[in-house]
A and B are shown apart, each in its own frame.
Chain A
Amino acid sequence: MEIVVNGDPRGVAPGSTVASLLRELSLPATRVAVERNREIVRKSEYDAVALSTGDRIEIVTFVGGG
């Protein structure tokens, strides 16, 4: 199924969760925050939140700046 991650379309397996998406992207859950359809997903829910077709996922992290 297709979702949008940080603005780009991406195919993921049916049954994917936020946690499995982060694993697929090699992103450590401890260093990112995730929004699904503009709602923040709590870290404790990454395993439980199943992705649906058309979901818009934003993944942010810390970079130099400020």
Chain B
Amino acid sequence: MADTLTLGGRTFRSRLLVGTGKYPDYPTMVRALEASGAEIVTVAVRRVNLDRAKESLLDHVDPKRYTLLPNTAGCYTEEDAVRTCLLAREAGMADMVKLEVIGDEKTLFPDTPALLSAAKRLVKEGFVVLPYTNDDSSSFPTRTTIRSWRNGWRTPGAPR
């Protein structure tokens, strides 16, 4: 049997999801992505910097080769996170998102109630939600909800 990962109806051979931040330059990033074998790479959504050169991440990461996963890193509220996902979709991404609602600046642990609420809204909007959360049993959502998130867990503290 093939060892594959299925998320939101799409099947991947690699279980590795890699980021696109903090590389010294685009060529280094491209080589790292290729070497990783990952098929899913995360991207951030930010205001266009109108003063800077117009070189774009999308000049270097081919969306036909990689599944681009917009994330809501840096969002501290449900509203901000939902808005970021809607903008990402309008900017041309598919409907799979990595959802973060940060509750603590230092540890980046999630604000779980806000994360859950944002996830419910996004699932209704047709998104496949990969929540960035932990297994804190006191605020753990129901199994039904987890199924609707289609089960893409990440552990806080893992390398980003």
For the complex, what is the distance from the CA of A43 to the CA of B23, rounded to whole Å?
A: 31
Stretch from B67-75, B101-109, B135-143, B145-153 contacting the other chain: B67-75
Stretch from B2-10, B40-48, B110-118 contacting the other chain: B40-48
CB–CB B43/A66 < 8 A:
yes
Q: CB within 8 A of A5: which of B42, B50, B86, B92? A: B50
Give the number of chain B interface residues (Cβ < 8 Å): 33
- The residues of A that contact B45 with a CB separation of less than 8 Å are 33, 60-63
For the complex, what is the distance from the CA of A33 to the CA of B64, rounded to whole Å?
A: 20
CB–CB B91/A63 < 8 A:
no
Is A6 among interface residues, defined by CB-CB distance under 8 A?
A: yes
- The residues of B that contact A62 with a CB separation of less than 8 Å are 43-46, 56-58, 68, 70, 88, 91, 93
The minimal Cβ–Cβ distance linking B112 to chain A, given in whole angstroms, is 20
CB–CB A31/B56 < 8 A:
yes
The minimal Cβ–Cβ distance linking B98 to chain A, given in whole angstroms, is 7
Give the number of chain A interface residues (Cβ < 8 Å): 25
The minimal Cβ–Cβ distance linking B20 to chain A, given in whole angstroms, is 4
A32, closest chain B residue (CB): B91
The minimal Cβ–Cβ distance linking A9 to chain B, given in whole angstroms, is 12
Q: Which residues on A are within 8 Å of B, measured CB to CB?
A: 5-8, 25-27, 30-35, 40, 42-43, 58-66
10 tightest CB-CB pairs across the interface, nearest first? A65-B44, A66-B42, A33-B91, A65-B21, A64-B20, A33-B90, A33-B87, A66-B71, A66-B19, A62-B43
Q: Which residues on B are within 8 Å of A, measured CB to CB?
A: 19-23, 29, 41-48, 50, 54, 56-58, 68-71, 73, 86-88, 90-93, 98, 160
Question: Would you list 27 pairs from A and B whose C-beta atoms are within 8 A, ordered by A residue?
Answer: A6-B47, A6-B48, A26-B54, A31-B56, A32-B48, A33-B87, A33-B88, A33-B91, A35-B87, A40-B90, A43-B90, A59-B50, A60-B46, A61-B48, A62-B43, A62-B70, A62-B91, A63-B43, A64-B20, A64-B57, A65-B19, A65-B20, A65-B71, A66-B41, A66-B44, A66-B69, A66-B71
